[in-house]
Chain A
Amino acid sequence: MDRSDKTKPTRDEDGIDRRGFLECMTWAGTGVLWSLAGGLPQAMGLSKALAAETPATPFTFLQISDSHVGFNKPANPDALATLREAIDRIKALPQKPSFMIHTGDISHLSKDMEFDNADQLIKEAGIPVFYVPGEHDLLDEGQGKSYLDRYGKGSKGAGWYSFDQQGVHYIGLVNVVNLKAGGLGNLGAEQLKWLQDDVAGLSAEMPIVVFAHIPLWTVYPDWGWGTSDGAEALALLKRFGSVTVLNGHIHQVMQKVEGNIAFHAARSTAFPQPEPGKAPSPGPMKVPAGDLRKYLGIATVDFVRGGEPLAIIDKPLAG
């Protein structure tokens, strides 16, 4: 693809930049740097952030996802090494982010060694980290006990919680427990009730950032990429002027704006997955060995929105 195509995206009649969207559907990456400008978070690829010449914003945070430490299959024989590269890039940022959000699948098989290795590396970033579990983090004998012992301090239920930081309300949700046969990700009645109470006293002008592992919106139900009661959670947030939803799980960047709610799925630091419907199933996608890091997105720096609102995207169910 020719570079000038990338820098001058064309928009379709409905205002959607389809080429830009497809480029954003890159497979995996090191991390996404968020900066809050006027209450609407904006994202840029980490490599771009490293090179940014724009004035420093007052407040930034990071999202990383799906590190799958312990994964060693052909799609990436060393998921710890690529996490290390992601952390190295975070450490090299000219402006230190205030904190990091990890949207789950820290480990591949919930083994103590995997969590230990991940923790040791992520700690090197030198900033607070807020976690939510992915389904791969709940595979211990206690079905999530290990995760809660390590990361669940102060959380409710299966590990959900909220906190405020510099005028923004952050909500970490868990949609990977008690999943039902034939279904999608699930929050459950107890968590929804908690969410309702959690936001009840907040001003509608307070920006909200929600993060959970599986996308809260329906990306591709045939592959389980959605949350069955996600719409109920979003309904509770409808009155807020700015809501940003950060997810992982699908190992590729995808975004959509619906009313005041902006949805984003982040790249993995471990391995790519196919685009929805473009393979017989989801799962680790093997790319030519020399290309892995390109697919992991380290050199793919197209995810820049600058002063524009985040991309408005229809449901990407291209078959």
Chain B
Amino acid sequence: MTFISIGISRTAWMASPVLAGLLLLSATPQAMATASDVTVKIDNFTFSPADLTITPGTTVTWVNNDDIPHTVVETAQTFRSKALDTDDKYSFTFTTSGDFSYFCSLHPHMTGKITVKP
């Protein structure tokens, strides 16, 4: 069942990037629980989990639970969020394998890493 839902989700994304964006915005808790979506929480100036290994095609969503804004910026600027105020979210879909180190550009002592491998 899970596998099928991932297949459908990927097809929709390939068919329409715009639709993919809409799907992300309207993602429900159930949708977040599927194998292709992972959440990184930002609590107390810490990314949690700070180290995450995922498969290509996985969407990672960062959620800021702090009362201070943070950003999510990949070291090589592959991705860069705007400032996330309290409860704001930022999502990025990792399509290629590799190591992606990121940090908060406001509080650079906050660092994390996403490892993408099949």
B102 and A181 contact, CB distance less than 8 A:
yes
Contacts of A180 in B (CB 8 A): 108
| CA of A222 to CA of B110, assembled, Å | 10
Contacts of B66 in A (CB 8 A): 281, 283
Binary A-proximity of B35-46 (CB < 8 A = 1, otherwise 0) = 000000000111
Q: Smallest distance from the beta carbon of B13 to chain A beta carbons, Å?
A: 27
| CA of A221 to CA of B110, assembled, Å | 12
Binary B-proximity of A106-146 (CB < 8 A = 1, otherwise 0) = 00111000000000000000000000000110010000000
B12 within 8 A of A: no
Q: A181-B102, A281-B44 are in contact. Are A224 and B67 (CB under 8 A)?
A: no
Contacts of A55 in B (CB 8 A): none
Number of interface residues of A (CB under 8 A): 24
Contacts of A73 in B (CB 8 A): 67, 86
* Of the residues B83, B85, B108, contact of A181 by C-beta under 8 Å: B108
Cβ-closest chain A residue relative to B85: A109
Contacts of A280 in B (CB 8 A): 44
Number of interface residues of B (CB under 8 A): 21
Cβ-closest chain A residue relative to B102: A181
Contacts of A179 in B (CB 8 A): 105-106, 108
B46 and A281 contact, CB distance less than 8 A:
yes
A184 within 8 A of B: yes
A-B contact pairs, 8 of them (CB 8 A): A109-B85, A139-B83, A181-B111, A182-B109, A223-B109, A224-B108, A283-B45, A284-B67
List chain B positions with a Cβ less than 8 A from chain A: 44-46, 66-69, 75, 82-83, 85-86, 101-103, 105-109, 111
Query: Beyond the given A182-B109, A182-B111, A281-B46, could you list 11 further A-B residue pairs with CB under 8 A, ordered by the A residue number?
Result: A109-B83, A135-B105, A139-B69, A139-B82, A180-B108, A181-B103, A181-B108, A221-B109, A280-B44, A282-B45, A283-B68
